[in-house]
Structure 1
Amino acid sequence: MLDTSHNNADFGLYRRMLAENNLILTNIAQGAPLAQTLADIATSIEIQNPEIWAVIFLLDESGKHLRLAAAPSLHPDCSCAIDGIGVETGTWPQCAASDTLVDTATEDLEASQFWRRFSGVVQEHGLYACVAVPIRSMHKGILGIVAACLQQPDRGGDKHRQALADVTALATIAIERHIDQTEIRRAENAALERETRIALAIEGSGTGVWDRNVATGEIHYSTGWKAILGYTDSEIGNRIEESYTRVHPDDLAYVKATIQAHFDRKTDSYSVEHRIRCKDGSYKWISSRGKVVSRDAEGNPLRMIGTTTDITAMRALSERLQQSVDLITSLTNEVPGLVFQYCQMPDGAAFFSYASEGIRDIYEIAPEQVATDVSVMREIIHPDDYQNYSASIAASAASLMPWHLEYRVILPTQGLRWRQGDARPRRLPDGRTLWHGFISDVTERKRIETELQEFATIDFLTQLPNRRCFMARMEEELARIQRSNGMSAAVLMCDLDYFKAINDGYGHAIGDQVLKHFATILREALRKNDTVGRVGGEEFAVILADTGFAEAALFARRVQKQIADAPFVGGGEIIPVTVSIGISAMKPSDANVAASLSRSDTALYRAKGSGRNCVEIAFD
């Protein structure tokens, strides 16, 4: 500290120092650039001691090199020469905040390798290293060095050391503030990256997001939500009253009641399916799900956040399938959905850089279990589907085409389930591939598809296999016979006699009942490994596995007897029904199934020509 009792020149110097230091502190508080602040500190040292040329070094992030931070009075050539002076481990004191700058390796800073190198450089430019003082933090250790040099050999080192030490605190404050601000900016950038990742994942899933302030009646929609209805960002207001005007009048009471039930804590979440008006005046079906995320002290809802998904196509499928409405609704209710960001490194390693909480339903695991690698997926995905799953991802990565796959998973609680994944990839500059997408539960839809497949192979009236299905079964039987060396099967063609007369005399409704009656007799007469099908209007075909002509003829006569013993009764009147049957054998030498079918047809025509209600066998 300067003694202000000295002459007026010293007192004026003291006042200038105070003013300079106050200015520096103001710059620090206002977030001035670090280089400018350190230059001001170095200048303040030189004002206090005009004979000194001040130099400030900062330790770089590696902790092994000093970089020049401020040297306002040095010649540029000298500044360049001393920039980047190395600090060797063992010669640079690595001391804790509470330790002094002296350790067992060096007596003091001016005995270190740094000092020798610094002294040599400045001496080459006609200067003499005078003194060096460490810039030390209470929490972050050594931050740098404040050094001074003179134009002639030092004769007052202690005085100069004190001058540097008095302003080193200012340098410490400035550097620590710069470090803190840098860390804050890094944290803010990380938070922004996480938010961007979530936004991209949601956008890739085709899901809209809404955020409602219950207290003020405001509701804000994401761009994706507005796009579902055909609106741009500026075309929809943020009042809940306006949002209700878009709900279909027939659904409005239901929607409001469901929301109120959630507000009253009667439900854990809000979930509805309803119609909503688009910009062009048409209506879409949507699934809207949400939850109150904050309440006041009395339990009144304050904020509610949710998502909206366009389910118009799903509802259209529901209508086409008529009786499947409840199944489709159940499917929709069971799809929580997984919004994800999937990252694959150039070396093939992969992980979910973001996974929503929906992963707990989709895969029955926590997001952190796939945050570093995806090896757990091998245990979840069905073994028969895992190879295809991996190959589809690899193909998407190679071509950058959208990923789409339906696959099975085996879960501890839910068991075997179907999943559908959709995502769009993009290549990052560092070679990584990044997907943003959505995975949903399609188990119920897959079950419906199986049922539709069955509908396509069953005759609606008789509930027997239709011609297409029966012919496929014949193909399988022929292949079996050709593999089994000598085995055969009997093929029977059955035709109801005078069926046209029944239709004309009693009406088509009675005729349909007669067909169903005969189909029941045929079905009950079959063994487990036999097959029957309706192949024409009143024509039925039968495959009797491992059966010869004699057994086939017995079967045919048994059917004729059963229909005679149990005639059809319609409108209180007995309607006699007889059947003509032609029999042939399916042989290993048959080129195709048409051969045996043609032979049984020929036998059937002979039975018809023999007066009907006959059994004929084609022995050829």
Structure 2
Amino acid sequence: MLSHMKPLDLSLRIPAEVPDTLPDKRFDSLLRIARCHFEVVDAVFLPEAVSGSWEPVLEGRVAPGLSDVFSLCRYLTPHDDVLVVPDTFADGRFHRQLHDTGNRPVRFLASCPVIAHAAEPVGFFCLLHDTPRDMTEEDQAFLRDLARLAAGIIERDGTQVRLEEDVDALREGERRMTLAIAGSGTGIWDRDIKAGEIYYSAGWKAILGYTDTEISNRIEDSYTRIHPDDLDYVRAAIRAHFEQQTASYEVEHRIRCKDGHYKWISSRGRVVSRDADGTPLRMIGTTTDVSAIRGLSERLQQTVDLLTNLTNEVPGLVFQYQRTPRGESFFSYASAGIQDMYELTPEQVVADDSAVNRLVHPDDLPGYLMSFDVSAESLAPWHFEYRVWLPRQGLRWRQGDARPVRLSDGSTLWHGFITDITERKRIEAELQEFATVDFLTQLPNRRHFMMQIEAELTKVQRALVRRSAVLMCDLDHFKLINDQWGHSVGDQALRHFAAILRDQLNAWDLAGRVGGEEFAVVLSGKDIGQAAAFAQLLQQRITGTPLLVGGQHIPLTVSVGVSVIMASDASADAALSRGDQALYRAKKNGRNRIECYEVV
């Protein structure tokens, strides 16, 4: 009898994508089809409760008075199947009569859960009739189809909301980028290679002193503005990139302005589309006015004394590096900064560059040498970041930039600068760590953990490992800890648990903080039994290592759900979902428990 059933669990969960208020009109067509097809008095959509309230939908209007029907459907209907009650009066589970919105007795009841992509019911599609009847398998299948269509409507609305949010974010990003470019003194160009046209932004035209309507977009006109002495160099750099000899197009050259004088610009771009034969179709890039930098460089080269005095004071290495047609390479000039950059003297590199090459990290040396080969072949600017091993300083990072010129004897001569970027690389590494590590627990954050578990799924699917287990761990009564002792103690509890968890992991295991007090673990190569043993040991360690704050013992226990990664999983979310279901059982059955999701 219904009176002997367990209390109905009204703690409902709805995917965040489902709107809190469901428009009544969305389900009208489905409800009319159901009512006509099944010839029943009422067809109604019962949504899951939100914040303790819910509104049944009955053909474009709210249908109050169906709370009993809703509670019974949610309690009795299987998660993914149809509930059919031919006659509620004759069914021992009902201790009193049900009534519909017209206060008519409900004799016949059929219900099917509406399951959205989050794999949780978001409501029930129900049929109500005032006389007893039954349903064939075909009718049940049709009711399932209607429930799936209702789920599709809900998912569509959630998708629309997300799309609108993405569009707003994209527009904001475009606005910020436009403001950044406008304030940087940089112009943008977009070249249609096949059509022989090139689009210039207003900022690009302003660099040369033109208004937005005063310059042609024909590519042949663009070449007429390049200084005659630089034209072959520019064409060679473009050709090398078109033929995929270089990863990008990077040149510095002189260009004629509207008033007739020349200024130096730095243009960088990349082919962004090619046809099936590899022929370039479109190229996008930027242009920056570097006249001031070029002017300084040319003045520095006017006298050797001025060059020496200036470069020796610069925190870095100013150099001239030369390669002859016979394959000889050496530094024809090196400032005093070579002592800091390489712990060498200018005299040690004037004959050949072998002393420098021996200091370049072995993993970076091939790329370092190749970068000079590419620059020499296309006369493209040289830019490379690499590591060096120095006797006194140890491992350091260096960045080199130089512009090559071809000498009359066929040699290539670079004028350039090498600087220490070790601190910048350290900051970049820290930023990378911040992006992947949860600051509080020092475990991988959810985003990084999901990348790792997806890689583990790939290993299982490729049979690189036979199996892997997943544990979903949740600290029990964590909200009570925060409320009773404060959030700082709550943070200490999370760090305490993370430290215990980290100490128990092997080098090839994975763990991450995936929620407020929720952690996930992947035990590579372990089955569900071994994972359960791991969870038992984890619980023992928590019990044996109490958290003490100010001499006071803070009770900590953990509930664990265990599942396994299967090769048939479409994504790692499937294994995590199974672990979540097991974790839910562990918490529902009293907490401080271990529950396993057994795959049949």
Larger Rg: 1
Report the TM-score, using the length of structure 1 for normalisation.
Answer: 0.43
Comparing both structures, which one devotes a greater share of its residues to helix?
Answer: 1
Report the TM-score, using the length of structure 2 for normalisation.
Answer: 0.44
